[in-house]
Each structure stands twice: as C-alpha cells, then as structure tokens.
Amino acid sequence: MLPSRLSTQISTLYSNNVPDSTICGCKFYRLPENSTSHYTEWANSLPPERLYLEQYRELTVLQPTWVLTRKRFDELGGYGTEYLRLEDEGERELRLGEDLRFFYKHMKEGGKVRCVCGCVCVFFVFWSDAMWATIIIVAP
C-alpha cells in the first residue's frame, strides 16, 4: 500500500453522492513485474464505464483494493456463500469466490463502482512448490 492509498480512496468514495452504495477500488502495480501481466493490464486500463460493462468477465476492481463503508458491507451480509448460488451447484460445491459473489450482490442491489485513477497499491506475488500467495506491500 502506498502512503496515500487510503486517503485517496476515502476521498474518492465520499466525493460521490452515494458513498454507502459504492465500492471504491484502485489501480495497482504487480511485483515481480509481468506477473499476471494480462489481468493487470486489463484491470488498470478500464475506463469508468467499463467497470460496469465487464463485471461478468472478472472483478473489475481487484478485491484487495476495495474501500467501502461498513454500512454497505453489513447491508450485503458480508462474505458468505448463501447468495447467488448457481442453479447446478450443490450445497458443498461453490465455483465462484466469495469476493465475486459479494461483488455480484453489490451490483444486483444497485451498487456503484469507482476506481482511483492512479496506481496507489503494490502487490507482490510469489510461487512455491506448495502454494502461491499475494502479499500487499505496506510502505513505511
């Protein structure tokens, strides 16, 4: 996280008329460079109108960059698996991640999406034999 990230996103969130129904994300840097380059380039190049139009392709604002009010989080029921179950999904079979389910519920209930234009977040991606992980880098 770059030092200005939270203040920039909170200002953006409250600069619109409906902060309690808005998710505000931000553009991001990936380290090492070129890790998930296709997704990074796509997500960072979306103009505001595409944040809505491409919502069923993929999350249009990367989940770890989200800023939203606690009121909105609670209104939507937080993260859960009980909503937006696909017709052919069984009780123990979930093919959509919780973040995508939350985002879809947000959009279904008239939610807005905003994205800070500048890159104010840095992610470090690493792989090992056992797993891969994404770590948010916090700047001093």
Report yes or no on 30 lying in a domain. Answer: yes
- What is the percentage of the chain residues whose pLDDT exceeds 90? 33
> Into how many domains does the chain fold?
1
Instruction: Report yes or no on 128 lying in a domain.
Output: yes
45 CB neighbour count, 10 Å cutoff: 9
Residue 36 in domain: yes
pTM (2 decimals)?
0.77
Domain of 57? 5-70+112-136
**Local confidence band at 82 (pLDDT 50, 70, 90 cut-offs):** low
Domain membership flag for residue 76: no
> Which single residue is written with the structure tokens 């977040």?
121
Q: Is residue 14 part of a domain?
A: yes
Domain assignment of residue 95, yes or no: no
Pick from 101, 103, 139: nearest CA to 122: 139
Split at pLDDT 50, 70, 90, the class of 114 is: very high
DSSP per-residue letters across 21-53: GEEEEEEEEEESTTTTHHHHHHHHH--TTHHHH
pLDDT digits (tens, 9 = 90+) for 1-44: 577 888 999 999 999 889 999 999 999 888 888 778 888 899 99
CB 44 within 8 A of CB 65: no
